[in-house]
Amino acid sequence: MAKVILLPVGIGLAHVGRLVEVAKQLQKKRIEVIFGAGGDAVPILKKEKFEVKILPELERSVYEDKIKHNNPSVYTRANLERFVLSEIALFKKEKPDLVVYDFRFTAKISASILKIPSVSILNVDMTPFYDMSKTKFPVQTTLIKYLPRKLSGLLNKKYSQKFLTRVGMNIIQALFVKELVKLSPMLLKLGFRPGRSPYQLFLGDLTLIADVPQFRPVKRLPENVVMVGPLFWESNANLPSWHRKLDTGKKIIYVTAGGTGDRKVFLTLLKYLKVFSKDYNIVATTGNTLKLDEVKISFPGLFVTDFLPGKWIMEKATLVIFPGGNSTCYQALYFGVPQICTPFHIDQEDNVNQLERLGTGMMINPYTDLSSDTLISGVRKVISDRNYKINCLKFKKILNQYDGAKKAAEEIVKLFNN
């Protein structure tokens, strides 16, 4: 029986959930699957009844202090060495035929050193194949939050966006190169010789892109890069006891902090949404962003838990409010639910730019624009303007053509056969 080790980055539910869905499909094909993970990923994977080997993981503070501020310097020479040596030890012990990773880039290094084929699962914006000329450069979380309002307005002008989309990818690539140069002495010490491509750790021997071209525009792909479609986790979380107390005469506004949200913003959203509680059930999930006991706010019509089965809540929701994570974007589109997003970093904002371009949702910049007035008016606008719902339902038809997890497993089996 073939054996696959799957390694997600433990910060962010999407990266864990995507590999969970792929692992389930691989098991159906009688492939042995083992997870190597740490941090927040471990309890999720154990609840899904997968075998988990514990590996070091980035601290939550890395997200709060670096990723949220678009600082790519998440690896140091010290933690890079610790991660790679732990992964190499695991691979030597388990002897996998293949390594599958989602945003845990040290897995590519470790697999390459041991000459084990690797499969990378990621979104197209983290590859050289993203056609940013057809979309909008994320300025809300990168530039606007640091500029006076008068200057920030210029960045949304058509001529500014044309310039930024042309040079933006070059700037991002330069940042990747800078990180590779910084880590090169340790990479060489470990036995990995870096190449020239700034994307070399993002791309495996096979790369599976969890996007559709109608969402993120794509350039022509080489044979070893395959667009499989979205992968979103269907949590097996039990329904909370309060689910029977929901007023069936009211529609639902769903708020989730997700895996990479912000504690303060999440609690602020709940406070502002109280005004809608007479007409709507306000259902909220904390995800990995904060613990349930940190939610002190309470009012009739508010229902809070940590996780909910995505299908259960999305089928009932009239609107979803979330930071802009990729899996929730696709999940909302799949179930035809309009969105309001509060992105905190460039990747989330890039997701939200696509939703605005498609006319299915809107952005509220949490750094500059979030207030009681902007949220209340935004909620009223998205719920009352039927175009948001109509556009969601149009995109739902596109997504119905994809089965990302099944397609990903099929491509992995092809790699085995070759």
In a domain, 120, yes or no: yes
Together in a domain, 313 and 294? yes
Together in a domain, 142 and 250? no
Together in a domain, 24 and 132? yes
**Can you point out the beta strands (E) in 32-188?**
32-37, 52-54, 98-102, 118-122
| CATH code of 96's domain | 3.40.50.2000
pLDDT tens figures, 245-272: 888 889 999 999 998 899 999 999 999 9
Mean pLDDT of the 93-100 span = 98
Task: Locate 353 and state its tokens.
Answer: 């730019």
Together in a domain, 224 and 245? no
Give the Cα separation of 117 and 132 in Å (integer). Answer: 30
Size of the chain in residues? 418
pLDDT tens figures, 29-70: 999 999 999 998 999 999 999 999 999 998 877 777 777 777
In a domain, 409, yes or no: yes
Together in a domain, 247 and 224? no
Together in a domain, 288 and 393? yes
Q: Phi, psi at residue 215, to the nearest 5°? A: -90, -55
Together in a domain, 155 and 253? no
At residue 139, does pLDDT exceed 80? no
Together in a domain, 200 and 293? no
Secondary structure (3-state) at 321: strand
Range name among 88-92, 137-141, 150-154, 319-323 with the lowest pLDDT average: 150-154
Together in a domain, 214 and 163? yes
Together in a domain, 292 and 212? no
In a domain, 77, yes or no: yes
Burial of 397 (0-12, 13-18, 19+ CB in 10 A): exposed
Together in a domain, 341 and 296? yes
Secondary structure (3-state) at 223: coil
Range of the domain at 63: 3-230+402-417
Total number of domains in the chain: 2
119-141 as b/e, with b when 16 or more CB fall inside 10 Å?
bbbbbbbbbebbebeebbbbbbb
Residue % of the chain over a pLDDT of 70:
93
Task: Locate 383 and state its tokens.
Answer: 């719920």
* In contact, 25 and 412? CB cutoff 8 Å: no
Give the Cα separation of 1 and 44 in Å (integer). Answer: 26
Together in a domain, 287 and 321? yes
